[in-house]
């Protein structure tokens, strides 16, 4: 029995995924995976698959007002789905990921300090709209990552856990879409899409992913203190308010636990379910050794790719049942990958739609969120099928990254499905009429919009104003690719 926080950490090869929140376009949570499975059932050959998203522009809002409302609701829903069952009152360390941004660009839409404040406060300011009033966000210092191909963040997360031995959990908060692109571009740039108008071909898919990864064993040292904390029988608040009686061993605060966990707090921690195990990424170079400017081609490229795949599969302990990959192109990925996987020891069948998931082909351009969309889907697939998955981000021409995801109980399918869309009630239980809560929320949103329109001309409300109102986060310490000397990571 030990009563102090751990001060060292071994090299970690896995992290537990304990919470997932996903909004992809019109779909939430398990709806995304269910839609892909419906595609598989209707068309087993991946070469004949199209998009899983609604293709009729009339299925999407036209006005800027309704587009902005849909954008805000997607962010709010993903936040709620990820954190609603996570322990309250504990400030969860957070890394926020968005697309590439250059604070020194000419004619920025927002001043760099405004963007920095917005991105640092985004997750924490979303808690209210998500109904998470007792939850807390701790944005890590240097923990806002602006990068179009941010898969290296996954390796950095392992480093954060190793450098902070008392940290039991971390939130990865990823936001991508038309509004985010508009905010971070200069005034001379414009993403595909319209502020007011129908959805455009090639427009970014609004993608919000919130993943909580954890090492739950790191709170074991706090368990003995819980029985000595004050508790109020009539309160569900897990906050520490003092000692009921003095513990026999002095409590020594740690960086991530300045106060002990109460008994009610441990009830919440103990309810966390391991959904999947995230394996440390394997990354291989696709350039000639010692010649970073010369890419590998043909058999040499295939050999390097196959070697990375086999190394990642070896760590999984079992051949993956499926792969989620993304080159950022709507077609042609299978032709690029097939020769390389043919050389691998445990390949998947890229022509089988149940094994092969080209994210851009199926879900459109998810931009910087792509690696995390893959991880969220792999978590759902591996949990529900009790098998392993591989996520392969391929948007960078100079390297390939392989991220394994395995189930908590291999070979034993669960009886439950934790990926249902259980959001706060927006309708009364016995009728489809909107509930008073939803009507009040919607009415306030419309009122705020009308007030803003009255104050500003022209009547169109620029998306960056909407996103600016959703500010973000608070302070954090991150170990990230590079020397960590700057809070901004960009391409």
Is there a domain that residue 389 lies in?
Answer: yes
At residue 466, the pLDDT reads 42
Quick one: pLDDT band at residue 421, thresholds 50, 70, 90?
very high
Nearest to 207 by CA among 381, 405, 51, 365: 365
At residue 272, the pLDDT reads 98
Q: pLDDT tens, 445-485?
A: 665 555 555 544 444 445 554 444 444 434 444 444 444 33
Is there a domain that residue 414 lies in?
Answer: no
Check: CB of residue 318 under 8 Å from CB of residue 406: yes
Nearest to 87 by CA among 275, 273, 265, 274: 265
* Average pLDDT of span 268-296: 93
Nearest to 463 by CA among 177, 140, 271: 177
Check: CB of residue 197 under 8 Å from CB of residue 11: no
Q: pLDDT tens, 379-395?
A: 999 999 999 999 999 99
Tally of structural domains, the chain = 1
Q: pLDDT tens, 342-357?
A: 999 998 999 999 999 9
Residue 148 exposure: Cα atoms within 13 Å on the Cβ side: 15
Report which of residues 301 and 447 the model is more confident about.
Answer: 301
At residue 439, the pLDDT reads 54
Is there a domain that residue 479 lies in?
Answer: no
Q: pLDDT tens, 232-245?
A: 888 899 999 999 99
* pLDDT surpasses 50 at 261: yes
**Rounded mean pLDDT of the chain?**
89
* Burial of 311 (C-beta count, 10 Å sphere; 0-12/13-18/19+): middle
- Residue 251 phi/psi, 5-degree rounding, is -80, 125
* Average pLDDT of span 213-228: 98
* pLDDT surpasses 60 at 427: no
Q: pLDDT tens, 46-98?
A: 999 999 999 888 889 999 999 999 999 999 999 999 999 999 999 999 999 99
Is there a domain that residue 269 lies in?
Answer: no
Is there a domain that residue 345 lies in?
Answer: yes
List beta partners, residue 96.
Answer: 144, 173
Is there a domain that residue 375 lies in?
Answer: yes
Range of the domain at 356: 280-406
Quick one: pLDDT band at residue 442, thresholds 50, 70, 90?
low
3-state secondary structure string, the chain? CCCCCCCCCCCCCEEEEEEEEEEECCEECHHHHHHHHHHHHHCCEHHHCCCCCCCCHHHCCCCHHHHHHHHHHHHHHHHHHHHCCCCCCCEEEEEEEECCCCCCCCCECCCHHHHHHHHHHHHHHHCCCCCCCCCEEEEEEEEEEECCCCCHHHHHHHHHHHHCCCCCEEEEEEEECHHHHHHHCECCCCCCCCCCCCCCCCCCCCEEEEEEEECHHHHHHHHHHHCCECCCCCCCCCCCCCECCCCCCCCCCECCECCCCCHHHHHHHHCCCCCEEEECCEEEECEECCEEEEECCHHHHHHHHHHHHHHHHHHHCCCCCEEEEECCCCCCHHHHHHHHHHCCCCCCCCCECCCEEEHHHHHCCCHHHHHHHHHHHHHHHHHHHCCCEEEEECCCCCEEEEEEEECCCCCCCCCCCCCCCCCCCCECCCCCCECHHHHHHHHHHHHHHHHHHHHCCCCCCCHHHHHHHCCCCCCCECCCCCCCCCCCECC
**CATH code for the domain of 300:** 3.40.47.10
* pLDDT surpasses 50 at 437: no
* Average pLDDT of span 6-20: 98
At residue 465, the pLDDT reads 46
Tokens encoding 414: 């669960």
Lowest mean pLDDT among 138-147, 222-231, 436-445: 436-445
At residue 481, the pLDDT reads 43
At residue 401, the pLDDT reads 98
* pLDDT surpasses 90 at 289: no
At residue 447, the pLDDT reads 59
Packing angle between helix 112-126 and helix 64-83, nearest 10 degrees? 60
Report which of residues 443 and 313 the model is more confident about.
Answer: 313
* Burial of 307 (C-beta count, 10 Å sphere; 0-12/13-18/19+): middle
Is there a domain that residue 184 lies in?
Answer: no
At residue 2, the pLDDT reads 77
* pLDDT surpasses 90 at 102: yes
Lowest mean pLDDT among 58-62, 144-148, 339-343, 484-488: 484-488
Is there a domain that residue 222 lies in?
Answer: no
């Amino acid at each position: 029995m030990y009563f102090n926080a751990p001060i060292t950490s071994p090299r970690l090869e896995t992290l537990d995924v304990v919470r997932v929140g996903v909004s992809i376009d019109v779909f939430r949570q398990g709806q995304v995976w269910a839609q892909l499975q419906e595609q598989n059932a209707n068309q087993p050959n991946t070469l004949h698959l199209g998009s899983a998203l609604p293709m009729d522009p009339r299925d999407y809002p036209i006005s800027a007002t309704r587009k902005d409302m849909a954008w805000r609701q997607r962010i709010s829903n993903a936040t709620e789905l990820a954190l609603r069952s996570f322990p309250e009152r504990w400030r969860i360390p957070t890394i926020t990921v968005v697309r590439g941004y250059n604070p020194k660009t000419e004619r920025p839409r927002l001043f760099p300090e405004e963007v920095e404040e917005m991105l640092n406060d985004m997750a924490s300011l979303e808690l209210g709209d998500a109904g998470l009033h007792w939850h807390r966000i701790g944005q890590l210092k240097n923990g806002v990552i602006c990068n179009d191909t941010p898969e290296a963040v996954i390796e950095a997360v392992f480093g954060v856990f190793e450098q902070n031995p008392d940290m039991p959990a971390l939130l990865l908060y990823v936001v991508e879409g038309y509004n985010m692109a508009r905010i971070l571009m200069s005034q001379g740039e414009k993403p595909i899409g319209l502020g007011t108008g129908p959805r455009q071909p090639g427009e970014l898919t609004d993608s919000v992913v919130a993943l909580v990864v954890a090492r739950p064993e790191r709170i074991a040292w706090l368990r003995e203190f819980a029985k000595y904390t004050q508790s109020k029988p009539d309160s569900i608040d897990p906050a520490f308010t003092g000692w009921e009686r003095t513990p026999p061993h002095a409590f020594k605060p740690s960086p991530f636990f300045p106060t002990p966990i109460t008994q009610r707090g441990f009830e919440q921690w103990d309810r966390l379910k391991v959904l999947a195990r995230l394996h440390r990424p394997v990354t291989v170079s696709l350039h000639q050794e010692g010649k970073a400017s010369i890419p590998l081609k043909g058999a040499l490229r295939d050999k390097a790719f196959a070697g990375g795949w086999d190394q990642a599969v070896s760590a999984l302990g079992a051949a993956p049942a499926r792969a989620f990959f993304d080159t950022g192109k709507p077609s042609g990925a299978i032709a690029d990958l097939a020769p390389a996987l043919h050389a691998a020891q445990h390949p998947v069948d890229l022509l089988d739609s149940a094994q092969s998931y080209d994210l851009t082909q199926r879900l459109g351009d998810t931009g910087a969120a792509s690696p995390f969309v893959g991880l969220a889907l792999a978590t759902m697939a591996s949990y529900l099928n009790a098998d392993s998955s591989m996520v392969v981000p391929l948007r960078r021409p100079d390297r390939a990254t392989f991220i394994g995801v395995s189930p908590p109980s291999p070979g034993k399918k669960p009886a439950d499905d934790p990926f249902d869309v259980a959001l706060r009630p927006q309708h009364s239980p016995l009728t489809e009429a909107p509930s008073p809560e939803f009507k009040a929320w919607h009415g306030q949103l419309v009122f705020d919009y009308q007030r803003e329109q009255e104050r500003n001309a022209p009547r169109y409300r620029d998306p960056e104003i909407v996103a600016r109102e959703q500010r973000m986060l608070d302070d954090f310490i991150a170990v990230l690719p590079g020397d960590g000397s700057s809070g901004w990571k960009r391409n």
